[in-house]
Amino acid sequence: MALISSPFARSKRLNLKPSPTCSGMAAVCFCVSSPMAANCGGTVIGLASLNKNFSIGVFPNVSLEAARKERDWARSMVREGRDPLLEKRVKVAEQIDQNEYTFETVARRWMDTNVQWSDYYASQVRGYLEKDVFPKIGKLPFAAIKTSHLRPILQTVVDRGAPTVAILIRQWCGQIFAYASAEGLCEADPTALLKRSVKRPRVRHNPPLAWNELGIF
């Protein structure tokens, strides 16, 4: 049986009958047009094994390359004795759950757990996060935050002449990711790659007073 190709998938748009074909797998891979697929402007690509169908998506919204990767993943699930339909539902449910935890939501929970902070320090942390961080990444899903999201934030603070504040923000974000990791909300800390991105300003001490500048004690 011939492999599914893009021209083949496009040719199936007007054929409303299922047309089994093969795309290099033991189970049957099918390419079928239906009224629903036609409304989406494409062709449904999926897998058929015994009495179950595993729909991958609508072509060309889902490329054949992506469909083959999804097919290989489904086959690996079957080899392990796991139901790919159930596994996909679990993945979707986990993604929805993760999307509910935005960076701002997790950061505020982290701040609430630090009851040992003084009022001044708590106000300082909250103030800088609300001013410099939340407007940029506050609404993003926490697990989606990457180093590339954080680097521009730090650079903006440095550019306004506050490198020490940028260092504090990086440290606070690192603590937020450590807290989130303990809560099972992420697996990596993107701030780890930013530890040397901001140079701490040199401390300039006041020169000593001359003897004639000393007052009478």
* Domain range summary for the chain, segments of one domain joined by +: 6-90, 103-194
- Of the two residues 133 and 206, the one the predictor is more confident about is 133
Most confident of 6-20, 51-65, 91-105, 149-163: 149-163
* CA 164 vs CA 157, 161, 171, 198: distances in Å: 9, 9, 11, 9
Mean local confidence (pLDDT), 30-42: 44
* CA 74 vs CA 53, 56, 84, 89: distances in Å: 11, 10, 5, 13
Cα end-to-end distance, the chain, whole Å: 102
Q: To the nearest whole number, what is the mean pLDDT of the chain?
A: 75
The CATH T-level fold of domain 103-194 is: DNA polymerase; domain 1 (1.10.150)
Instruction: Please check whether residue 101 is in contact with residue 142, taking contact to mean a CB–CB distance below 8 angstroms.
Output: yes
CATH superfamily, domain 6-90, is: Integrase, DNA-binding domain (3.30.160.390)
Mean local confidence (pLDDT), 192-203: 78
Exposure of 53 in the CB half-sphere (CA atoms within 13 A): 11
Instruction: Decide if 6-90 and 103-194 have a common fold.
Output: no
State yes or no: pLDDT of 158 exceeds 90. yes
